[in-house]
A and B are shown apart, each in its own frame.
Chain A
Amino acid sequence: MIQFVQALISGLTLGSIYALIALGYTMVYGIAKMLNFAHGDIIMIGAYSVIVTAATVGMPPVFAVLISILVCAVLGVTIEFLAYRPLRQSPPLTVLITAIGVSYLLQNVALLIFGSEQMSTPMMFDIPDLTIGGITVDGITLLTLGVTAVIMIALTLFINKTKVGKAMRAVSEDKEAAELMGISVNKTITITFAIGSALAAVASIFFGATYVYIKPTTGSMPGIKAFTAAVFGGIGSIPGAMLGGILLGVIEKLSMTYISTLWSDAIVFGVLVLVLVVKPSGLLGKAQREKV
């Protein structure tokens, strides 16, 4: 029993990080209808930003967090403006490849600035661990879960209840019609990228706090896993991203504990394939009815 609970808790720790990253992924996908492959690398930049401000310059944690969010938001908007906006009318695959190019670019810029040696994120918050009946849950895990849930709810409310959110849904539905209704598509997508990248910064802070070490390629694997999680939950669906992320983490850890650490990759991806074959639009995704 203790073994099971332990595995569940480490699954939640990992899963909540996946979920947090997947939220940004799915948000950008849902509105701009593009896979931002560079999302994972924006997280890496956010993590380096925290290291520079908090460890090297020595700023208080609150400022470090705020600056990281600002850096990522500005970076996201800049990338959108320079690389994705000129491709607004292009086929989605062209945009995807450009996003991969941006991902390479960010990794190599980080490699040149920070070097290939890993750096460690400074301890910023000291949250007491929670111990119940011999089982310890890291404080940071609880905080990550809480923050992810809050962000999920806030995002859902933002998109469904505010005016900007309404504009986003309109842009997502039909760009041209939205433009005709007086919505600035460019402005709306810029806001989407700003929020998505700010979420990447938040993810980077929790990633750094949980796993400490950062190097230029840190973002790519969590990025792919989060993309998987977002699709698992139904891409474009915000609660789906959270569910997908957490489930992915839990399945990964349970398979490691009970089956084999050698086969965990195959098992995780195998489960994913099975679920998608049964539910072709993800766990919470809307089934697209085909028009005749």
Chain B
Amino acid sequence: MAMKENVKKSFNAKAFFTTDVITLLAVVVLYIVIAVLVYTGSASRQISNMLISISCYIVLAVSLNLVVGLLGELSLGHAGFMSVGLFTGCTIAVLLTDKLPMAVSLPLCMIIGGLAAALVGLIVGLPALRLKGDYLAIVTLACGEIIKNIITNLDIDGTPLNGALGLDSSSIRHSATDLLPFAVVLVLLTMIVMMNFKKSKHGRAIMAVRDNRIAAEATGINVTYYKLLVFVVAAFFAGAAGVLYGHTLPNIKPATFDYNMSIEILVIVVLGGMGNIGGSIIAAIILRALPEALRDFSDYRMLVYSILLIGIMLLNENKAFKAWKSQFSLVGWVKKLLKKKQTAETDAPAEDIPAVDASADGKEETK
């Protein structure tokens, strides 16, 4: 008992297990379970074939959440950033195929693809300085379509780019088992960056811009800088996710990355909750896995999916359901556990815990 108390002093569990850390740990545990199942060959093929694509969507959703949740602007061009990253990064990856091992070329190309996407994000971010709301939404949609149009007409001899015939990525395609470690690292890295970004000076400044631009400006926050920063960071991760996605298929067509895909990512963000990273992850898994889980409905599959989507949205807004759901919150549960332990072991009053508990579900909606 005495020993434990000593440990307690140097390691404050309550302070350590913040919402972010618990979310991160949950994702790590999830990936460990998946990795064990995949590498021992006991995961079904259907599930292991989806792993990388779901991981990509997690990164896309978490990064879009920066624009939609943190900055409070509607973006319908996220798939465009993804495709810029994909087509740049994967073209280089194909050209490097025999020169570098995959373990080097994939991270390298992810960075290159991310940077290319970030550059485009900067360009797309420029109109965002003048526009907002639906006008910005339509401009991001337009930029996504312009990017698609350009890549569709990009047929360059000597490169794997074949315009509408798609990028010939067969030489860099890898199976889910090969790509899983990279996917895990990318997802965790994205989460850590986003979580810290949100809590940092920058994140607070961005939220200030979201809540009241004029007041933020008056306090000396450089609105231009922060708005562009959000677009650049979000685009970077979308581009990196694109490069990973490009390694899962032998041929990638630019037409895939249209506004419908951007909308699909947006649906994940909204369902998961604005600014809520853990929510985005859960929503990405649910929405990507749902159509697969519904395969037994055969022709009625997408009908059932759309009904479920509407149902989930309605239910999510229902007060009684919200209350019911919050009791299953993992974060809330861990915190409660800690609180009990703490009150049992020390006499220190746990003054701030109830406040944290109330928002344990992590809903930080923008009004």
Contacts and interface: CB of A to CB of B under 8 A. Distances in A.
Direct A/B contact, Cβ within 8 angstroms: yes
Interface of A: 29, 35, 83, 86-87, 89-91, 93-94, 96-98, 100-102, 104-105, 108-109, 111-112, 224, 227-228, 231-232, 235, 262-263, 265-266, 269-270, 272-273, 276-277, 280-282, 290, 292
B313 A280 contact: no
A109 B303 contact: yes
A91 B365 contact: yes
B365 to A, nearest CB: 6
A90 B259 CA distance: 24
A87 B314 contact: yes
Contact of B317 (A90, A263, A272): A90
A98 B314 contact: yes
B110 interface: no
B302 A91 contact: no
A281 B314 CA distance: 31
B181 interface: no
Contacts of B271: 97
B135 A231 contact: yes
A265 B267 contact: no
Contacts of B316: 94
Interface in B124-158: 126-127, 130-132, 134-135, 137-139, 141-143, 145-146, 148-150, 153
Contacts of A270: 142, 146
Contact of B142 (A86, A101, A273): A273
A228 B314 contact: no
Contacts of B313: 87, 94, 97-98, 101
B138 A228 contact: yes
Given A101-B310, A290-B213, A280 B131 contact: yes
Nearest to A229: B138
Contacts of A97: 266-267, 270-271, 309, 313
B31 to A, nearest CB: 28
A65 to B, nearest CB: 29
B274 A91 contact: yes
B131 to A, nearest CB: 5
A89 B367 CA distance: 10
Nearest to B260: A220
Contact of A93 (B74, B145, B153, B306): B74
B348 interface: no
A266 B144 CA distance: 10
A91 to B, nearest CB: 6
Contact of A112 (B127, B135, B300, B366): B300
B229 interface: no
A31 to B, nearest CB: 15
B305 interface: yes
B310 A83 contact: yes
Nearest to A269: B142
The 7 closest A-B pairs by CB, nearest first: A104-B306, A269-B142, A105-B306, A101-B309, A101-B310, A266-B149, A108-B303
A272 B309 CA distance: 32
Interface residues of B, number: 47
Q: Is the interface of B mostly helix, strand, loop or mixed?
A: helix
8 contacts: A90-B317, A94-B313, A112-B303, A227-B138, A235-B134, A262-B153, A269-B142, A269-B145
Given A86-B314, A104-B306, A277-B126, 15 more contacts: A83-B314, A86-B318, A91-B274, A93-B274, A100-B309, A101-B306, A105-B310, A228-B138, A228-B141, A266-B146, A269-B143, A270-B146, A280-B130, A280-B132, A290-B213
A265 B310 contact: no
Contacts of A83: 310, 314
Nearest to B299: A112
B214 interface: yes
Contact of A104 (B132, B214, B309, B318): B309
Contacts of B135: 231, 235, 276, 280-282
A91 B367 contact: yes
Contact of B127 (A105, A109, A277): A277
Contacts of B131: 276-277, 280
Contact of A94 (B303, B306, B317): B317
A104 B305 contact: yes
A281 B132 CA distance: 9
B68 interface: yes
Contacts of B318: 86
A292 B270 CA distance: 28
Contacts of B299: 112
B263 interface: yes
B118 to A, nearest CB: 19
Contacts of A224: 141, 259
A102 B314 CA distance: 12
A276 B130 CA distance: 9
A97 to B, nearest CB: 5
A108 B306 contact: yes
A35 B74 CA distance: 12
A210 to B, nearest CB: 23
A196 to B, nearest CB: 16
A292 B143 CA distance: 31
B358 interface: no
A282 B299 CA distance: 42
Nearest to B317: A90
A276 B112 CA distance: 31
B235 to A, nearest CB: 16
B33 interface: no
Contacts of A87: 313-314, 317
Nearest to A98: B313
Nearest to A285: B135
A233 B305 CA distance: 34
Given A276-B139, A277-B130, A265 B146 contact: yes
A83 B270 CA distance: 16
B359 to A, nearest CB: 17
A83 B311 CA distance: 9
A157 B101 CA distance: 69
